[in-house]
């Protein structure tokens, strides 16, 4: 029988803070009541800074982040439209697959898993697209499967350099609210996230922020759509209501989560994610292991995919952690199965939790056959945290 706190270190759903859990435990209410809209409008107002926008429409779709992906596509593109996408991890693979199934003409650039969006190749391709056949360019901001953060600003610069009018779609599911995201600065037209990652709620809301340009595109886009139709949603949500019954308890949870983010301060949230991620990475290095991410510039502050040597099956590591130590680590997906395990370090986290994650990973690696020095990774992370704490003290003095 499992005892004690369940250590959850998958890259989503993330740990839901106690006050968010409390806030969700509400009786049902009338979603058409005169005072219901205020709840939604408050969320939208507070989500905008999280997306790095002052003006984009933020839409809350009952569903998952995958649903918000679909909403982004079908509302702004017409069947047969050409779009430019890269594949370099399981979630970019899935987004390509979705675009193909929804009838778009996807030009795919494949890259080894562990690399990011190929900015230079995108730039070259866009510059070559003199007739602007490409209607959309896609960036997976944070590839959850590989722990890789891509350069959205670089893609924007590539578009601007050749004056390309394509819409810029960004999957921010595992980045938004955890990593700096600058929708307005980067000229992102459609930014997608879900409730269950940096926003620290259960799954159940797909969130889509749309630029004015994307709204304009939706007026002529001819993809069939109804549930995810942006027009209905924007019309209702202007007053804080929904075209169909929303998962109200999630809205209350989101309220509490956004209150937390405001209380901590977005910059502090980002700094904390970086500090804790760096602790994990110091630990991985001390183990003598490497990340899946091809180079430090791509390291993700929300999830680390850790390669194990061939003599070890990463699935064993995950299985042992789960069965014996009540700890959930992320698995290697698709071509990475057995080759990596992942530590999600986003959302509501602190140093002690990271030390537990590393400590349990060490026990599990040991039992899976990797000759680890107990405490090595934990100690490396501690040294980083102690250093950070020292710097914080000095800054405060």
Contacts to a copy of itself from residues 3-62, by CB under 8 A = 3-8, 10, 12-18, 21-34, 61-62
* Residue 191: C-alpha distances to residues 175, 188, 242, 354 (Å): 11, 7, 20, 29
Tell the smallest beta-carbon distance from residue 114 to a copy of itself (Å): 21
**325 binds a copy of itself, rule: CB under 8 A:** yes
Interface with a copy of itself: number of residues (CB under 8 A): 108
Which span sits near a copy of itself by CB under 8 A: 114-122, 294-302, 304-312, 351-359? 351-359
Q: Tell which one of 147, 198, 204, 332 touches a copy of itself (CB under 8 A).
A: 204
CB 91 within 8 A of CB 70: no
CB 278 within 8 A of CB 382: no
Print the binding letters for residues 281-310 with a copy of itself: x by CB under 8 A, - otherwise: ------------------------------
Q: Tell which one of 37, 52, 67, 198 touches a copy of itself (CB under 8 A).
A: 67
Residue (128 or 386) nearer to a copy of itself, CB? 386
d(CA 20, CA 16): 6
**92 binds a copy of itself, rule: CB under 8 A:** no
CB 81 within 8 A of CB 220: no
Instruction: Write out the binding residues for a copy of itself, residues 133-152 only, by CB under 8 A.
Output: none
SS3 track for 302-331: CEEEEECCCCCCHHHHHHHHHHHHCEEEEE
Residue (33 or 128) nearer to a copy of itself, CB? 33
* Residue 249: C-alpha distances to residues 34, 219, 379 (Å): 17, 32, 41
Cis-peptide, bond into residue 197, ω within 30° of zero: no
Instruction: Write out the binding residues for a copy of itself, residues 211-250 only, by CB under 8 A.
Output: 223-229, 243-250
Print the binding letters for residues 378-397 with a copy of itself: x by CB under 8 A, - otherwise: xxx-xx-xx--xx-------
Number of neighbours of residue 297 by Cβ within 10 angstroms: 10
């Amino acid at each position: 029988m499992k005892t004690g706190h369940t250590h959850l270190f998958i890259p989503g759903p993330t740990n839901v803070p106690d006050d968010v859990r409390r806030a969700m435990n509400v009786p049902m209410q009338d979603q058409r009541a005169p005072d219901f809209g205020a709840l939604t409008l408050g969320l939208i107002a507070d989500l905008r800074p999280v997306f790095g926008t002052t003006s984009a429409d933020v839409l809350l779709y009952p569903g998952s982040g995958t649903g918000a992906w679909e909403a982004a596509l079908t509302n702004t593109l017409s069947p047969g439209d050409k779009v430019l996408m890269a594949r370099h991890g399981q979630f970019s693979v899935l987004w390509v697959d979705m675009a193909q199934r929804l009838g778009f003409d996807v030009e795919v650039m494949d890259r080894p898993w562990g690399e990011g969006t190929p900015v230079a190749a995108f730039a070259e391709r866009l510059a070559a697209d003199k007739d602007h056949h490409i209607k959309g360019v896609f960036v997976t901001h944070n590839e959850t499967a590989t722990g890789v953060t891509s350069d959205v600003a670089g893609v924007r610069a590539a578009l601007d350099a050749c004056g390309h009018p394509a819409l810029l779609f960004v999957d921010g599911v595992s980045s938004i609210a955890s990593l700096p995201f600058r929708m307005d600065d980067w000229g992102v037209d459609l930014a997608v996230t879900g409730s269950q990652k940096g926003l620290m709620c259960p799954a159940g809301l797909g969130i889509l922020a749309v630029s004015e340009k994307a709204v304009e595109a939706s007026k002529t886009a001819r993809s069939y759509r109804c549930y995810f139709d942006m027009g209905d949603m924007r019309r209702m949500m202007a007053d804080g209501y929904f075209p169909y019954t929303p998962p109200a308890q999630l809205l209350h949870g989101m309220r509490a989560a956004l209150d937390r983010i405001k209380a901590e301060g977005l910059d502090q949230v980002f700094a904390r994610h970086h500090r804790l991620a760096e602790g994990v990475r110091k630990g991985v290095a001390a183990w003598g292991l490497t990340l899946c991410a091809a180079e430090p510039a791509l390291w993700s502050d929300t999830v680390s995919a850790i390669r194990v040597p061939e003599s070890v099956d990463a699935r064993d590591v995950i299985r042992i952690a789960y069965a014996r130590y009540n700890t959930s680590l992320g698995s290697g997906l698709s071509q990475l199965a057995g080759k990596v395990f992942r530590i999600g370090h986003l959302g509501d986290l602190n140093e002690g939790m990271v030390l537990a994650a590393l400590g349990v990973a060490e026990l599990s690696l040991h039992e899976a056959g990797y000759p680890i020095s107990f405490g090595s990774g934990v100690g490396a992370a501690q040294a980083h945290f102690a250093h950070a704490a020292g710097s914080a003290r000095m800054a405060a003095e």
